[in-house]
Amino acid sequence: MSANNLGAWAGGWVTAVYLDFMRLEDLDQVAEIEREAFSMPWPSSAYRRELRTNKNAFYIVARLGTPRNEKLSPSYALLRRPFPFSLIPHPPSVEHYLSQRDLIVGHTGLWRLADQAHITTIAVRQSYRRHGVGELLLTGIFDITYNIGSEAVTLEVRKSNTGAQRLYIKYGFHQVGIRPRYYSDNNEDAIIMWTDALNSESMRTLLAQRRTELAAKLGIPEIPEWLPGARASTEERR
Protein backbone atom coordinates (compact mmCIF):
# COMPACT_ATOMS: atom_id res chain seq x y z
CA MET A 1 0.00 0.00 0.00
CA SER A 2 1.40 3.40 -0.91
CA ALA A 3 1.08 6.60 1.08
CA ASN A 4 -1.41 7.81 -1.52
CA ASN A 5 -3.78 4.99 -0.59
CA LEU A 6 -3.91 5.68 3.14
CA GLY A 7 -7.26 4.86 4.63
CA ALA A 8 -8.38 2.91 1.56
CA TRP A 9 -8.94 -0.33 3.44
CA ALA A 10 -12.49 -0.86 4.64
CA GLY A 11 -11.39 -2.76 7.73
CA GLY A 12 -9.19 -5.46 9.16
CA TRP A 13 -5.91 -3.63 8.55
CA VAL A 14 -5.29 -3.00 12.22
CA THR A 15 -4.34 -6.62 12.91
CA ALA A 16 -1.50 -6.26 10.39
CA VAL A 17 0.53 -3.67 12.27
CA TYR A 18 3.80 -4.46 14.00
CA LEU A 19 6.56 -2.65 15.89
CA ASP A 20 10.08 -2.24 14.59
CA PHE A 21 13.10 -0.08 15.31
CA MET A 22 13.34 3.15 13.33
CA ARG A 23 16.06 3.26 10.64
CA LEU A 24 17.68 6.12 8.79
CA GLU A 25 15.88 4.92 5.67
CA ASP A 26 12.54 5.54 7.41
CA LEU A 27 13.03 9.27 7.88
CA ASP A 28 11.09 10.41 4.80
CA GLN A 29 7.99 8.63 6.09
CA VAL A 30 8.62 9.82 9.65
CA ALA A 31 8.81 13.40 8.34
CA GLU A 32 5.42 12.98 6.63
CA ILE A 33 3.85 11.89 9.90
CA GLU A 34 5.58 14.68 11.84
CA ARG A 35 4.12 17.30 9.48
CA GLU A 36 0.64 15.82 9.87
CA ALA A 37 0.82 15.59 13.64
CA PHE A 38 2.68 18.64 14.90
CA SER A 39 2.75 22.39 14.36
CA MET A 40 6.48 22.25 15.16
CA PRO A 41 7.66 18.97 13.57
CA TRP A 42 11.12 17.65 14.23
CA PRO A 43 13.27 17.91 11.09
CA SER A 44 14.75 14.76 9.61
CA SER A 45 18.19 16.04 10.58
CA ALA A 46 17.20 15.82 14.27
CA TYR A 47 16.14 12.19 13.92
CA ARG A 48 19.24 11.43 11.88
CA ARG A 49 21.42 12.82 14.64
CA GLU A 50 19.50 10.88 17.28
CA LEU A 51 19.82 7.58 15.42
CA ARG A 52 23.49 8.05 14.60
CA THR A 53 24.96 9.48 17.78
CA ASN A 54 22.63 9.31 20.80
CA LYS A 55 23.24 6.01 22.57
CA ASN A 56 20.51 6.83 25.09
CA ALA A 57 17.83 7.40 22.44
CA PHE A 58 15.46 4.65 21.30
CA TYR A 59 13.03 5.18 18.41
CA ILE A 60 10.47 2.74 17.07
CA VAL A 61 7.86 2.72 14.32
CA ALA A 62 4.58 0.92 13.68
CA ARG A 63 4.51 -0.68 10.22
CA LEU A 64 1.67 -2.14 8.20
CA GLY A 65 2.19 -5.78 7.34
CA THR A 66 3.76 -8.63 9.26
CA PRO A 67 7.28 -8.75 10.72
CA ARG A 68 9.92 -10.59 8.79
CA ASN A 69 11.67 -13.70 10.04
CA GLU A 70 14.25 -12.34 12.46
CA LYS A 71 16.69 -15.09 11.47
CA LEU A 72 16.68 -13.71 7.94
CA SER A 73 16.69 -10.04 8.89
CA PRO A 74 19.76 -7.87 9.57
CA SER A 75 20.37 -7.21 13.23
CA TYR A 76 19.54 -3.86 14.79
CA ALA A 77 23.24 -3.39 15.56
CA LEU A 78 24.05 -3.72 11.86
CA LEU A 79 21.32 -1.31 10.79
CA ARG A 80 22.00 1.33 13.43
CA ARG A 81 25.67 2.09 12.82
CA PRO A 82 27.47 5.04 14.44
CA PHE A 83 29.04 7.82 12.41
CA PRO A 84 31.20 7.56 10.26
CA PHE A 85 30.24 3.92 9.61
CA SER A 86 26.66 5.06 8.91
CA LEU A 87 27.99 6.71 5.72
CA ILE A 88 29.17 3.38 4.29
CA PRO A 89 26.58 1.72 1.97
CA HIS A 90 24.87 -1.40 3.29
CA PRO A 91 25.63 -4.75 1.64
CA PRO A 92 23.19 -5.67 -1.20
CA SER A 93 21.31 -8.16 0.99
CA VAL A 94 20.66 -5.48 3.62
CA GLU A 95 19.68 -2.89 0.99
CA HIS A 96 17.08 -5.34 -0.34
CA TYR A 97 15.69 -5.81 3.17
CA LEU A 98 15.50 -2.06 3.71
CA SER A 99 13.74 -1.47 0.39
CA GLN A 100 11.06 -4.06 1.19
CA ARG A 101 9.96 -2.75 4.57
CA ASP A 102 6.34 -1.84 5.08
CA LEU A 103 4.53 1.49 5.26
CA ILE A 104 5.02 3.35 8.56
CA VAL A 105 1.80 4.45 10.27
CA GLY A 106 3.25 5.83 13.49
CA HIS A 107 6.41 6.38 15.49
CA THR A 108 7.61 7.15 18.99
CA GLY A 109 10.80 7.41 20.97
CA LEU A 110 12.38 7.92 24.34
CA TRP A 111 15.56 9.11 26.02
CA ARG A 112 17.12 7.15 28.85
CA LEU A 113 17.91 9.73 31.56
CA ALA A 114 19.39 8.21 34.73
CA ASP A 115 16.67 5.94 36.13
CA GLN A 116 13.84 7.38 34.03
CA ALA A 117 12.62 7.10 30.44
CA HIS A 118 11.49 10.37 28.85
CA ILE A 119 9.11 10.02 25.90
CA THR A 120 10.29 12.50 23.27
CA THR A 121 7.56 12.06 20.67
CA ILE A 122 4.61 9.93 19.64
CA ALA A 123 2.65 10.39 16.42
CA VAL A 124 0.27 8.43 14.16
CA ARG A 125 -0.67 9.04 10.54
CA GLN A 126 -3.95 10.93 10.40
CA SER A 127 -5.72 8.23 8.38
CA TYR A 128 -4.78 5.56 10.95
CA ARG A 129 -5.71 7.25 14.21
CA ARG A 130 -8.19 5.89 16.75
CA HIS A 131 -7.51 2.31 15.74
CA GLY A 132 -5.03 1.32 18.46
CA VAL A 133 -1.78 2.34 16.75
CA GLY A 134 -0.94 4.92 19.42
CA GLU A 135 -1.61 2.37 22.15
CA LEU A 136 0.57 -0.19 20.36
CA LEU A 137 3.39 2.35 20.25
CA LEU A 138 2.97 2.97 23.98
CA THR A 139 3.30 -0.75 24.69
CA GLY A 140 6.55 -0.61 22.74
CA ILE A 141 7.75 2.26 24.91
CA PHE A 142 7.06 0.25 28.05
CA ASP A 143 8.81 -2.80 26.56
CA ILE A 144 11.94 -0.74 25.91
CA THR A 145 11.72 0.91 29.32
CA TYR A 146 11.68 -2.44 31.08
CA ASN A 147 14.47 -3.70 28.84
CA ILE A 148 16.84 -0.81 29.63
CA GLY A 149 16.07 -0.89 33.34
CA SER A 150 14.38 2.48 33.77
CA GLU A 151 12.16 2.78 36.81
CA ALA A 152 9.45 5.13 35.50
CA VAL A 153 8.31 7.00 32.38
CA THR A 154 7.69 10.73 31.97
CA LEU A 155 6.55 13.08 29.19
CA GLU A 156 5.20 16.53 28.42
CA VAL A 157 1.92 17.10 26.60
CA ARG A 158 0.14 20.24 25.45
CA LYS A 159 -2.48 21.47 27.89
CA SER A 160 -5.01 21.60 25.06
CA ASN A 161 -4.33 18.02 23.89
CA THR A 162 -6.94 16.35 26.04
CA GLY A 163 -7.17 13.31 23.77
CA ALA A 164 -3.52 12.45 24.31
CA GLN A 165 -3.87 13.11 28.03
CA ARG A 166 -6.72 10.59 28.26
CA LEU A 167 -4.57 7.96 26.52
CA TYR A 168 -1.66 8.57 28.88
CA ILE A 169 -3.90 8.43 31.94
CA LYS A 170 -5.29 5.15 30.65
CA TYR A 171 -1.76 3.76 30.67
CA GLY A 172 -0.91 4.91 34.18
CA PHE A 173 0.42 8.44 33.74
CA HIS A 174 -0.68 11.20 36.09
CA GLN A 175 -0.11 14.94 36.14
CA VAL A 176 2.64 16.19 38.44
CA GLY A 177 3.20 19.75 37.24
CA ILE A 178 3.14 22.41 34.53
CA ARG A 179 5.87 23.87 32.33
CA PRO A 180 4.59 27.40 31.60
CA ARG A 181 4.81 28.63 28.00
CA TYR A 182 6.72 25.48 27.03
CA TYR A 183 5.68 25.40 23.37
CA SER A 184 7.28 28.25 21.44
CA ASP A 185 4.80 28.31 18.54
CA ASN A 186 1.95 29.64 20.72
CA ASN A 187 3.45 29.80 24.25
CA GLU A 188 1.12 27.04 25.40
CA ASP A 189 1.77 25.38 28.74
CA ALA A 190 2.92 21.76 28.91
CA ILE A 191 1.51 19.30 31.41
CA ILE A 192 4.21 17.13 32.99
CA MET A 193 3.11 13.53 33.48
CA TRP A 194 4.77 10.56 35.20
CA THR A 195 3.98 6.93 35.78
CA ASP A 196 4.36 5.22 39.11
CA ALA A 197 7.31 2.86 39.50
CA LEU A 198 7.10 0.27 36.74
CA ASN A 199 7.94 -2.59 39.11
CA SER A 200 5.04 -1.69 41.40
CA GLU A 201 2.19 -4.15 41.58
CA SER A 202 -0.31 -1.53 40.44
CA MET A 203 1.63 -0.68 37.25
CA ARG A 204 2.34 -4.31 36.39
CA THR A 205 -1.33 -5.15 36.77
CA LEU A 206 -2.49 -2.10 34.81
CA LEU A 207 -0.12 -2.67 31.87
CA ALA A 208 -1.02 -6.36 31.67
CA GLN A 209 -4.70 -5.41 31.58
CA ARG A 210 -4.14 -2.77 28.91
CA ARG A 211 -2.20 -5.20 26.70
CA THR A 212 -5.05 -7.71 26.96
CA GLU A 213 -7.61 -5.03 26.08
CA LEU A 214 -5.52 -3.78 23.16
CA ALA A 215 -5.10 -7.29 21.77
CA ALA A 216 -8.88 -7.72 21.84
CA LYS A 217 -9.29 -4.36 20.10
CA LEU A 218 -6.85 -5.42 17.39
CA GLY A 219 -8.52 -8.82 17.04
CA ILE A 220 -5.44 -10.86 18.00
CA PRO A 221 -4.83 -13.32 20.87
CA GLU A 222 -2.09 -11.22 22.45
CA ILE A 223 0.31 -8.39 21.68
CA PRO A 224 3.24 -10.19 20.01
CA GLU A 225 6.77 -10.00 21.31
CA TRP A 226 8.90 -7.78 19.11
CA LEU A 227 11.85 -6.80 21.33
CA PRO A 228 14.10 -9.70 22.41
CA GLY A 229 14.24 -9.88 26.17
CA ALA A 230 11.48 -7.36 26.85
CA ARG A 231 9.04 -9.83 28.32
CA ALA A 232 11.79 -11.57 30.26
CA SER A 233 12.87 -8.23 31.71
CA THR A 234 9.27 -7.56 32.74
CA GLU A 235 9.00 -10.95 34.41
CA GLU A 236 12.29 -10.46 36.29
CA ARG A 237 10.94 -7.23 37.75
CA ARG A 238 7.92 -9.10 39.04
C-alpha span between 13 and 214 (Å, rounded): 15
235 is catalytic: no
Task: Compute the chain's Rg from CA coordinates.
Answer: 18
DSSP state of 101: P
Instruction: Pick the closest to residue 33 from 156, 168, 134 (CA basis).
Output: 134
Helices 133-148 and 201-218: crossing angle in degrees, nearest 10, is: 140
47 is catalytic: no
Q: Of 156, 182, 183, 188, which residue is the catalytic one?
A: 156
Instruction: Pick the closest to residue 80 from 41, 102, 109, 105 (CA basis).
Output: 109
Q: Of 18, 59, 168, 171, which residue is the catalytic one?
A: 168
Provide the Cα torsion 156, 161, 162, 165; round to 10°: -30
The catalytic residue positions are 156, 168
